[in-house]
Amino acid sequence: VDGPRPDVAGEAERVAETRGLAAAIDWTSDVRTLFRDDNQGCGRGVSGAIDWFFTSEERGIVLEDDLLPEPSFFSFCQELLERYEDDRRVWAVSGCNFVPPEHIGGAASYRFASYPHVWGWATWRRAWQLYRYDLRGWRTGSSLHQVWRGSGSPWAFAYWLSLFELTARGSVDTWDYQAVLASFRCGGLTATSNTNLVTNLGFGVEATHTADRPAHVRAAEELRWPLVHPAEVQVDLRSEAWTRRQVLGATPRGLMRQGLRAAGRRGGA
> 106, 46 in Cβ contact below 8 A?
no
- pLDDT tens for each residue of 224-257: 999 999 999 999 999 999 999 999 998 888 787 7
User: What does 178-198 look like in DSSP terms, one character per residue?
Assistant: HHHHHHHHHT-EEEEESS--E
Q: Where are the alpha helices (DSSP H) in the chain?
A: 11-24, 41-54, 71-83, 125-128, 143-151, 154-169, 176-186, 237-243, 252-268
Decide if pLDDT at 53 tops 70: yes
Sequence-distant (6+) residues with CB within 8 A of 223 are 70, 72, 73, 75, 76, 109, 193, 195, 197
Length of the chain: 269
- pLDDT tens for each residue of 133-163: 999 999 987 789 999 999 999 999 999 999 9
Instruction: Report pTM.
Output: 0.90
- Provide the 3-class DSSP secondary structure of residue 162: helix
DSSP 201: -
Taking the chain, what is the end-to-end CA distance rounded to the nearest angstrom?
Answer: 28
